[in-house]
Amino acid sequence: MSGKAYLSVSAEVKAALAAGKAVVALESTIITHGMPYPQNLEMARDVEDVVRATGAVPATITIMDGRLCVGVSGEDLERLAQEGHKAAKASRRDVAALLASGEMAGTTVATTMQIAALAGIKVFATGGIGGVHRGAEESFDISADLEELGRTPVAVICAGAKSILDIGKTLEVLETNGVPVLGFGTDQFPAFWARESGFGVDHRFDDAEGVAHMLAIQSDLGMGGVLIVNPIPEADAWEASAIEGFITQALADAEAKGIKGKAATPFLLQRIFELTGGKSLASNIALVKNNARVAGEIAVALAERTTPKQPAVKFI
């Protein structure tokens, strides 16, 4: 049985893919575990509107009712947002078990890539990728996102890696997995809330057409995913030194409570939200919208490159 047997693709997304139109995948752990209700529902709808404004079709992805759902909307999207932390957080290792149990789950970057590729979607927008956690030399806590990027042919647009991670080691693992890291209008690898991390990117592109050209070649070569990093807008960015103080406190709190593994990132994001008086959430929403806009532009440019041109009609 093909994995596609478990797919449920919305009519809108199915029609867009059949017509060769631009589609942008959107993950759902940002809805279930990234922010509270009702801000998460408002954010999800706003992000979809941003994608539509570029001419692309949004496809929010989740696991629900024993199905891999692509293009979740309406009552199902609201149900997902209300479920929040009660929903599972699904990485690749969890998918089969969640389908078997029928449990609702938000999909991580890795799982969203997997499902997007299964549905034929080539571009995916998120907030920030997972990576190598600080202290990974002892904990071995490394996100499955990094290996997925090396094997699954989906372009991921994000604001870099979350500042709670070890960014240097994250970039080393991406290199090991053969993942090209492209800077969209930047030579610097961004650190989620901060525009710069002190680390560079592999290649810089300044427009969607250039990225689409590269992605088309990557696809022709049969290679894996591509990471496209897009800095948070300047008006919403934090100075790296300012956010670092909050991160250090949040990490100490997580260690004191013994919080590790897949529970670590949601806890740290919530704790940083508390420590910043909610300002980190506003920045988070701004960068997600910015990534959705860039992803939409890239998806449209890629669709224009790959959709065969119809021959001109001649009238006699």
Q: Residue 250: pLDDT above 80?
A: yes
> What gap in Å lies between CA 176 and CA 257, rounded to an integer?
33
User: Does the annotation count 162 as an active-site position?
Assistant: yes
**Given 14, 89, 122, 162, the catalytic residue:** 162
Asked if residue 204 belongs to a domain, the reply is yes
Q: Is residue 84 part of a domain?
A: yes
pTM recorded for the entire structure: 0.91
Q: Residue 211 is part of a domain; what is its CATH number?
A: 3.40.1790.10
Out of 40-44, 220-224, 309-313, least confident range = 309-313
| Assigned domain for 148 exists | yes
Bridge-based pairing of strands 67-70 and 57-64 is antiparallel
pLDDT for res 29? 95
| pLDDT at res. 49 | 98
Q: How far is CA 56 from CA 65, 97, 135, in A?
A: 27, 32, 40
Which domain does 222 fall in, by range?
3-240+279-306
Answer yes or no: is pLDDT of 147 > 70: yes
Which among 125, 107, 84, 128 is positioned nearest to 243, based on CA atoms?
A: 128
Percent of the chain with pLDDT over 90: 75
Is the pLDDT score of 262 beyond 90? Answer: no
| 266 part of a folded domain | no
Residue 272 forms part of a structural domain = no
Q: Which amino acid is at 144?
A: A
Count structural domains, the chain: 1
Q: Is the pLDDT of residue 308 over 80?
A: no
Q: Mean of the pLDDT values across residues 300-308?
A: 85
- Rounded Cα distance between 7 and 258, Å, is 37
Residues 273, 274, 278, 280, CA torsion sign: negative
Taking residue 293's Cβ as centre, other Cβ atoms within 10 Å add up to: 20
Is residue 157 domain-resident?
yes
**Residue 252 domain-assigned (yes or no):** no
Catalytic residue of the set 27, 83, 147, 297:
27
Q: Is residue 273 part of a domain?
A: no
